[in-house]
Amino acid sequence: MPSQFFGLYISGSGLRTANAALNTTANNIANAQTVGYSRQQVVQEANDPLRVFATYGCAGAGVDVIAIERVRNHFYDVKYWNNQSRLGTYEVQHYYMRTLEDYFEDDGVSGFNALFNRMSNALEEMTKNPGDTTTKANYISSLKALTDYFNNMYGNLQEMQNDLNLEIKQTVDEINSIAEKLAILNKQINTIEMSGTTANELRDQREKLIDRLSLLVDVEIDEYPLYDVNDPTRLTGGTMYTVKVNGGQLLCFGNDYNTLTCEARRSYEKQNQTDIDGLFDIKWSNGNNFGLQSASMKGRLRGLVELRDGNNGFYFNGRVREIDTLVYNGKLTSSVTIAVNDVNLMDMKLCNLSDSGGKILIGGQYYYFQDWKYEEVGGIAQYTLIMDNDKCDEIINSSKIGREAAVGEAVNYQGIPYYMTQMNAWLRGFSEKVNSIFHADYEYSGPLDAFGNPAFNAAERPDLYVIKQINGFPSGEYDGLTAGAFVFTGNIKTGGQFAATDLLAAYGKGLYGITAGNIAINEELIKTADRLGVKSIASDGFEQCVQVTKMIQLLTSKEMFSFRNGTATDFLQMLLGDIALNASNANTFYDTYRGLSKAIDNQRNSISGVDEDEEAVNLVKFQNAYNLSSRMIQTFSEIYNRLILQTGV
C-alpha cells in the first residue's frame, strides 16, 4: 500500500521532469545560432508502478527523465560528408581553372594570338624589302616578344604549381590537426559516457570536425560499443570511434591517431621535366605510402593533386628488356633498357621525363637514374636509363628483366604538367620546322655569315644540347657559325657551336631540350639583325626571300606544321579549348555539389537544427506542465495540512 505522501512524490517527479524540459528548451534557444549544434530533447518514461494489493492492482509512480539526447540523423550526416568530399575537389578546380583562363586569355595586346599576328605581319613586311635591316629587326623583335610570352607563361604555371604544392602541405597539416582533436574528443566523450551520461555538446564538436575533414578528404566513420574485457556481456558505456580516409586508411581510432608527413622531392627525384623542385609526397608517420594519386581519394586534397600533377594519364611506363653496365662520366654504373608503348614517350616533342635524374619503380622496388637516352631498335621504342647506383638501396640486377617500370603515376586530369607539355610540344615542333627552313639560308653579307643566324635558343645546359649539324656537315667544320631560326644552345661557344660532340643527337633526345621556360632569342641576331638569312642561292638579288615566303606558309599550312591537327596559329585555341572544357566541368560540378550540400544540410537542420517557433511552443507546453505539477503539489500540501493539522485529535 502506498504511503499517504505518494501523491506528493508523483507531483514532485512531474515537477522535476518539467523543469528538465524547460532547461533543455532554454539551452536549445540559447544555441539556436550556434553552428554545428544539435537540438536536444528530454527522454522521459513512466516510473515503474507500485503494487498496492488492491483491486486495481498497481498505482502509477510518476515520471522519470531517462536522458537528454541530441536529435540527429546519422543517415543525413553520411550523405553530407560524401557530398562535401566531392564539393571540395571541384571547389579547388573551380578556382584554379578560372586562374588558368586568365593566364591564357588573349587581351589583344600581349596574348599569344596578338604576338603571333605581329610576327606574321613582320614577315609580310620583310617580303617588301628583304634586305632592309629595319624589317629584319622588327621581325626579330616580334620573335622576342613571342619567347617572352612563353617564358612568362612557363613562370606563371610553375608559380601556380608551387602554390598548389604549398596548399597540399597546408591541407595535410589541417588533417593532422583535426585527427589530434578527434582523438582528444573521443577520450573526453568516453570519460563522460562511461559514467552514464551523454556528452551531447562534445559529440556535436566531433561531428563538426568531421564536417570540415570531409571537405579536405573522403571520410568513413564507424562507431561501435565497447565491452568489459573481464565480462564480455557487459557494456561499458564507451564506444570505439574510428575515422578512415582515402579509401579506408585509418586516421583516428579511439584515443589514438595517425599523422601524415610531407616529404619534399629532391632535385634528383623529379617525375616530370617541367616540375619545380620540392614537390611534396605524402606518407604516414610510420613510413607507409598514403597513395596521393589514389583514384578513391576525394576532397580538396584530390583537387590540389590533380591540378599539381595532372598529366592527362600520360606518364613514363614500360617493361624492362635489358640490364647492363656502362661507364658514365668516368664511372662504372648500371643501365636499364625499358620498352615503351605510349605515344607521348615515342615522340620527343611530347616527352616530359625528368632531365635531372629521377626515381623509378621497377618490380616493386625504387631505384634512381641520372640520365637517359631514347632509340628505336628493331621497331621497338626503348629508353636506356643510366642508373645512379650510389643513391639506390640496392644495385639493380637481372631479376628485374621483364618487370614493369614506372616513373610517377597516371593522373587522369589536365593539370599543370599537361599544359606545360603542350607548350613545349608546340615550341619543339615549330622550332624544328623553322630550323628546316633557315638552316640552308645563304646570307649576302660576307663569307663569315655564309649561313643565316638562328633566332631562338635556350640557355639550359649549353654544353650538352645542340640541334643538328649544319647541312649534315661534321661537328666543328663551321666553327663560329650558327644556322636556322630556333636553337637552344644558349651561348655561342668558343670554337663554334658544333665544336663539341653532339650528345643530344647521340642520345636521341631530339628537340627535348627546348622548353617554354628556356627558349630565347639568339643574342647575335639582336646585336646584328643582318645575320638573319632570307635567301638560299647566292646569285639571287636583294628582292629574293624564298625562306621568308616559306615561313609565311608555315604559319597557316597544316602540311608544313601541324599541332593537334591544327595549324601553328591554332595553338592557343587548342589550349583554351582544354582549359574551357575543364573549367566548365569544374564550374558545373561545383555548382551541383554546392547546391546538394545546401539541400542535404537543410535536411539535416530540419531534424537537428533549432526551430525557434517550435521551441516557443515547447516553452509554453513545458511551462504549463511545470505549473500543473506545482498546482498538484500545492493541492496535496493543502490536503496534508487539513489531514494532519486540522483533523488531528
Per-residue pLDDT tens over the stretch 142-171: 888 988 999 999 999 999 999 999 999 999
Note the pLDDT of residue 502.
Answer: 35
Alpha carbon distance 454, 439 (integer Å): 8
Residue for grid cell 598529366: 311
Instruction: State yes or no: pLDDT of 141 exceeds 80.
Output: yes
pLDDT score recorded for residue 437: 73
**Does the pLDDT of residue 69 top 50, yes or no?**
yes
Residue 442 pLDDT class (50, 70, 90 cuts): very low
489 sits in which H/E element = none
What average pLDDT does range 105-109 have in this prediction? Answer: 81
Of residues 197 and 489, more confidence is placed in 197
Secondary structure letter of residue 486 according to DSSP: B
Give 557's contacts (C-beta < 8 A, 6+ positions apart). 567
* pLDDT at site 438: 62
**How does residue 506 score in pLDDT terms, banded at 50, 70 and 90?**
very low
Mean pLDDT, residues 459-481? 34
pLDDT at 227 over 80: yes
Say yes or no to pLDDT of 475 above 90. Answer: no
Kindly report the backbone phi and psi dihedral angles of residue 84, in degrees, each rounded to the nearest multiple of 5, phi listed first. Answer: -60, -40
Predicted confidence band of residue 74 (pLDDT cuts 50, 70, 90): very high
Q: Of the segments 187-196, 455-464, 482-491, which one has the largest average pLDDT value?
A: 187-196
The yes-or-no verdict on residue 229 having pLDDT over 60 is yes
Q: Is residue 210 a contact partner of residue 219, using CB atoms and an 8 Å limit?
A: yes
Highest mean pLDDT among 362-371, 469-478, 638-647: 362-371
With 0-12 / 13-18 / 19 or more C-beta atoms within 10 angstroms meaning exposed / middle / buried, residue 146 is buried
- Higher pLDDT residue, 467 or 539? 539
Report whether 431 contacts 390 (CB < 8 A).
no
b/e code 364-386 from CB counts within 10 Å (16+ = b): eeebbbbbbbbeeeeeebbbbbb
> Residue 439: pLDDT above 80?
no
pLDDT at 282 over 70: yes
- The torsion angles phi and psi of 496, rounded to 5 degrees, stand at 115, 150
pLDDT of residue 293: 87
Give the pLDDT of residue 484: 36
Predicted pLDDT at 128: 86
Residues 471 and 484: their CA atoms lie apart, in Å, by 10
The mean pLDDT of 460-467, rounded to a whole number, is 36
Residue 365 scores a pLDDT above 50: yes
Q: Which residue has the higher pLDDT, 118 or 449?
A: 118
How far apart are alpha carbons 145 and 139 in whole angstroms? Answer: 10
Residue 184 scores a pLDDT above 90: yes
* Average pLDDT of the residues of the chain: 85
Residue 494 has pLDDT above 50, yes or no: no
User: Is 70 exceeded by the pLDDT of residue 487?
Assistant: no
Q: How many residues can be counted in the chain?
A: 649
Task: Assess contact for 560 and 436: CB atoms under 8 A.
Answer: no
pLDDT at 523: 73
What is the pLDDT at residue 443? Answer: 41
Q: In this structure, how many other beta carbons lie within 10 angstroms of the beta carbon of residue 296?
A: 12
Res 535: pLDDT? 66
- Per cent of the chain over pLDDT 70 is 86
Cell triple for residue 54?
488492491
> Confidence band (pLDDT; 50, 70, 90) for 127?
confident
Query: What integer is the mean pLDDT of 239-250?
Result: 95
Q: Which grid coordinates are listed for 251? A: 586516421
- Give the pLDDT mean for 192-199: 91
Query: How do residues 559-587 score in pLDDT, each as one tens digit?
Result: 888 888 888 888 888 998 999 999 999 99
* Average pLDDT, integer, range 429-451: 54
Whether 504 shows a pLDDT value over 60: the answer reads no
Beta-bridge mates of residue 385: 336, 372
Answer for the pair 194, 236: CB distance below 8 angstroms, yes or no: yes
Q: What is the mean pLDDT of residues 218-235?
A: 92
Q: Which of residues 535 and 488 earns the better pLDDT score?
A: 535
Q: Which of 612, 593, 608 is nearest to 76 (CA)?
A: 608
Residue 476 predicted with pLDDT over 70: no
With 70 as the cut, is the pLDDT of residue 276 above it? yes
Query: What pLDDT sits at residue 447?
Result: 31
Residue 128 carries which side chain, given as an amino acid letter?
K
Q: How many helices, marked H, and strands, marked E, lie in the chain?
A: 12, 18
Long-range contacts of 261-264 (CB under 8 A, 24+ apart): 261/172, 261/285, 262/168, 262/169, 262/172
Count Cα neighbours of 101 within 13 Å in the Cβ-side half-sphere: 16
Place of cell 621525363: 353
Residues above pLDDT 90, as percent of the chain? 59
**What stretch of H or E contains 372?**
strand 365-377
Q: In the 8-state DSSP scheme, what is residue 646?
A: I
The pLDDT, as a whole number, for residue 472 is: 33
Cα–Cα dist 647/124, whole Å: 126
Q: What is the pLDDT of residues 393-419, one digit of tens each?
A: 999 999 999 999 999 999 999 999 999
Specify the higher pLDDT residue, 160 or 531.
160
pLDDT value of residue 466: 36
